[in-house]
Chain A
Amino acid sequence: MNKNKLIDLIPSILIVVTVFVLWEILVNIQNIPNWLLPPPSEIFKSLYLDFSKLFDHTLVTLQEILIGFIVALIFGFVIASAIGLSNTVEKSLYPFLISLQTIPIIVIAPMLLVWVGYGLLPKIIVVALISFFPIVVNTADGMKSLDTDMKKLLLTMGASNWQIFRKIMIPSSLPYLFSGVRIAVSLSVIGAVIGEWVGSSEGLGYLMIRSKPQFLTELVFASIFILSTIGIGLFLLVGILERLIIPWSRFENSKD
């Protein structure tokens, strides 16, 4: 099982290595200056030399991502539950949710600075806003798609609406919740960077925006590299959590 998983990884590792090698060769052949496009070797060198600086900024960004994401998860779950329980709530909230999603975050982010001030809070709000939508829509879908026969079964056992919610709606919405979360984690990384771009003094987004005019392009790329690593890491973490929390779901889906 484990051995197979390692073998599964080989193609993607090969692709990454090939891209890096071609990139390195092309930059050298074409004599492209570092400030325009640094070769991978320079990026890795910068990762090594500027490690402590990058590390501090990474911690800031990671903190924004995680707090914002958890806020989105809590709000998303609560609102999805309300939608699942009541058709009235569904009808009145959905237009609002969709319009929330269509507001360009890049416009809202500077406004947030004015409204709530500088610091951690506006970044958390941007991350939460951007990752909230896929969580709420997916989880609400899961709550709505409950098996009516299961509900009938619980009703004949004399269950209350609250018991039906807890014993059927929540568990059957979890696989949907997880697919929403998987989309949301990668968005939350973007959210943190946008939040930092519009105004901050720390974080990887800030580092990128400060390094670019100084022609420290390898530092920009090093930041991108770290951000992608965070994105991949969170994505994998969600997969692991999913397998631990709802081990039954993979088998249910493949059965129908």
Chain B
Amino acid sequence: MSITAEIEIEKVNKNMIYQGETLEVLRDIDLSIEKQEIVSIIGPSGCGKSTLLNLIAGLDNPDFGSIHFQGFSQEDRLGSVSYMQQKDLLFPWRTVLENISLSLEIKGISKKDSTEICRKYLSEFQLEKFEKNLPHTLSGGMRQRVAFLRTLLTDSEILLLDEPFGALDALTRRNLYVWFMNLLENNPRTVILVTHDVEEAIFLSDRIFLLSPRPGQIQLIEEVSFKRPRTYEIISDPNFVNLKSRLLNQLSESRDE
């Protein structure tokens, strides 16, 4: 067992009860993720991607196996990783500033200090103009940027992202990939990204794990060798194209089974 890994997931199994039947959702998941690594988990819908994130976040516990972070016991997971879901979940009654300061507020940091910290981040990512806006006045892309900042401000080493780009149109999405890369460049974190978009996974991550249909098992692990930060031109690079078609083939094969 390596001790250098930031996240160590061993032999994790999870069953769920759905309409009176027990379903095996995850089987023998082994993942070892390095510090500041960005990994993607892709797989057909219903393969247990989101269940896996819930387990890692500590919202639920595995039936077998263990999940360890460096410096935390398995029981203390909840509250020590930050979790972003597909919906931006901005609180409609809070301004942009109040939304991103949510986790600081939960931790009991004084309003003055948290405002100062949040302003720093807002101006770093050119959102300071929107500080006092309520979420309903922002576009989808803007809302998601605010949600990213809120996630980052939880100040945990580990970010879990559940299809954070899923609800956006293609163009906004591309802009946001680059913005997100830049965000991580300046504020490095260990990231687990769940997505069903192969291109997104390759563009953003260092390693990609492909899950099989239910029960989800790790079927394929691919390294992405492009250096970070990346520009959008790499999507026409032959290596990118090869990797993409390999992953897509595997995905469609597993769907046909």
Contacts and interface: CB of A to CB of B under 8 A. Distances in A.
A255 B143 CA distance: 14
Interface residues of A, number: 23
A150 B147 CA distance: 12
Contacts, number: 63
A153 B83 contact: yes
A255 B57 CA distance: 29
A17 to B, nearest CB: 39
By secondary structure, the B interface counts as loop
A156 B79 contact: yes
Interface string A241-256: 0000011110110010
B106 A163 contact: yes
A249 B134 CA distance: 11
B89 A147 contact: yes
A70 interface: no
A155 interface: yes
Nearest to A159: B106
Instruction: Report which residue of B59, B78, B91 has the largest number of chain A beta carbons within 10 angstroms of its beta carbon.
Output: B91
A154 B82 CA distance: 10
A154 B121 CA distance: 20
B78 A155 contact: yes
A251 B89 contact: no
B107 interface: yes
Nearest to A251: B136
B103 A157 contact: yes
Contacts of B102: 154, 157, 167
Contact of A247 (B58, B79, B89, B134): B134
Contacts of B111: none
Contacts of A252: 92, 136
Contacts of A226: none
Given A149-B87, A251-B92, A157 B82 contact: yes
Given A158-B106, A249-B92, A252-B92, A152 B83 contact: yes
Contact of A153 (B80, B89, B93, B135): B89
Interface in B77-119: 78-83, 85, 87, 89, 91-93, 102-103, 105-107
Interface of B: 57-59, 78-83, 85, 87, 89, 91-93, 102-103, 105-107, 134-136, 154
Interface of A: 147, 149-150, 152-159, 163, 167-168, 171, 174, 246-249, 251-252, 255
